[in-house]
Amino acid sequence: MKIRRKKRNLIDIADSGALSDLAFLLIVFFIVIAVFNINKGFLLELPEKNSNRIVSTDDLIRVDISNTGLLTANGSPVEIRDIEKMVAEIRKVHPNMTFALIIHPEAKYQCVVEVVEVVRQMEVENFSISMMEDKN
Amino acid sequence: MKISRKKHHKPILPVNSMSDIAFLLLIFIMLISLMNYRREIKVDYPEAVFQEITQADKNLEIWVDVNGRLFIDAENIDLNKAEGLIAESIASDPAVRIHIVADKNTAYRNINQIMEVLTLLQHRVLSLVVKEKQL
Give the model confidence (pLDDT) of A122-131 as tens digits: 888 888 899 9
pLDDT band (50, 70, 90) for residue B83? very high
Binary contact (B54, A106; C-beta < 8 A): no
Stretch A94-114: mean pLDDT, rounded? 92
Using the Cβ of B88 and the Cβ atoms of chain A, whether some distance falls under 8 Å is answered with no
Q: What pTM does this model have?
A: 0.75
Contact residues, chain B, for A103 at CB < 8 Å = 108, 112
- The predicted pLDDT at position B130 comes to 93
Interchain CB distance below 8 Å, A26 and B25: yes
Is any Cβ of chain A less than 8 angstroms from the Cβ of B14?
yes
- Which of the pair, B51 or A135, is modelled with greater confidence? B51
Q: DSSP secondary structure string, chain A?
A: -PPPPPPPPPP-HHHHTHHHHHHHHHHHHHHHHHHHT--EEEEEEPPPTT------GGGEEEEEE-TT--EEETTEEE-HHHHHHHHHHHHHH-TT-EEEEEE-TTSBHHHHHHHHHHHHHTT-SEEEEEEPPP--
